[in-house]
């Protein structure tokens, strides 16, 4: 559909557009927590998701009237700055990571990072929410933290599926290249 047709008929996002927005929102919400629970991010990993997280926390803090959100936001900004400084130090030392690498989990405690991201991090959000509420934080703040379990799990699941699809495409390309090379050499017809 052309741009003029979109303007005449109103905005009609495709399924892909809708999914991409939902994924970006979930990635942003999960970034409200990842600077505290991961390390060794890629140079661009916290960029747009960090901005989205900042906006989410501003909106939730303003409209939800959650007093704990402001100190949390301040601590989160410090965590983001520390993560960014760590990434810059690693880059100066010559460490090469994918620019959007979403961080490492603690390898001493857990061997399988996928399980940690899909299960343990979301459970940790729920546990943290219960602890915050027991320590006297507002119910709304505890809900904000507890609901973080869903975008953390969702993003981890989607990232894993995307990774599997990339690996499959790479394997398919390798098979195709071997076939084409054999055909070029005259080994197959």
Whole-prediction pTM: 0.81
Give the lowest-confidence range in 40-44, 110-114, 159-163: 110-114
The answer to whether residue 168 sits within a structural domain is yes
Q: How many Å apart are CA 178 and CA 153, to the nearest integer?
A: 38
Structure-token pair, residue 43: 């140079």
> How many structural domains is the chain composed of?
1
Judge whether 93 lies within some domain.
Answer: yes
For residue 97, tell me if it sits in a domain: yes
Q: Among 12-26, 74-88, 105-119, 136-150, where is mean pLDDT lowest?
A: 105-119
Question: Is 189 inside any structural domain?
Answer: no
Rounded Cα–Cα distance for residues 106 and 103 (Å): 10
Range of 44's domain? 3-184
Percentage above 70 pLDDT, the chain: 93
pLDDT tens digit string along 27-36?
Answer: 999 999 999 9
73-92 pLDDT, tens digit each: 999 999 999 999 999 999 99
């Amino acid at each position: 559909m052309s741009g003029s047709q979109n303007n005449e008929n109103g905005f009609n996002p495709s399924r892909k557009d809708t999914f991409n927005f939902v994924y970006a929102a979930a990635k942003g919400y999960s970034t409200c927590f990842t600077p505290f629970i991961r390390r060794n991010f890629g140079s661009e990993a916290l960029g747009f998701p960090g901005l989205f997280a900042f906006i989410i926390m501003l909106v939730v803090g303003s409209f939800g009237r959650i007093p704990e959100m402001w100190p949390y936001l301040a601590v989160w900004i410090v965590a983001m700055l520390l993560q960014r400084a760590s990434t810059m130090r690693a880059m100066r030392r010559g460490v090469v990571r994918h620019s959007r690498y979403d961080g490492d989990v603690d390898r001493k405690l857990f061997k399988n990072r996928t399980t940690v991201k899909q299960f343990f991090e979301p459970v940790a959000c729920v546990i943290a929410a219960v602890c915050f509420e027991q320590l006297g934080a507002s119910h709304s703040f505890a809900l904000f933290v507890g609901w973080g379990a869903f975008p953390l799990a969702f993003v981890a699941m989607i990232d894993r599926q995307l990774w599997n699809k990339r690996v499959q495409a790479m394997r398919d390309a390798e098979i195709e290249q071997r076939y084409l090379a054999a055909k070029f050499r005259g080994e197959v017809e």
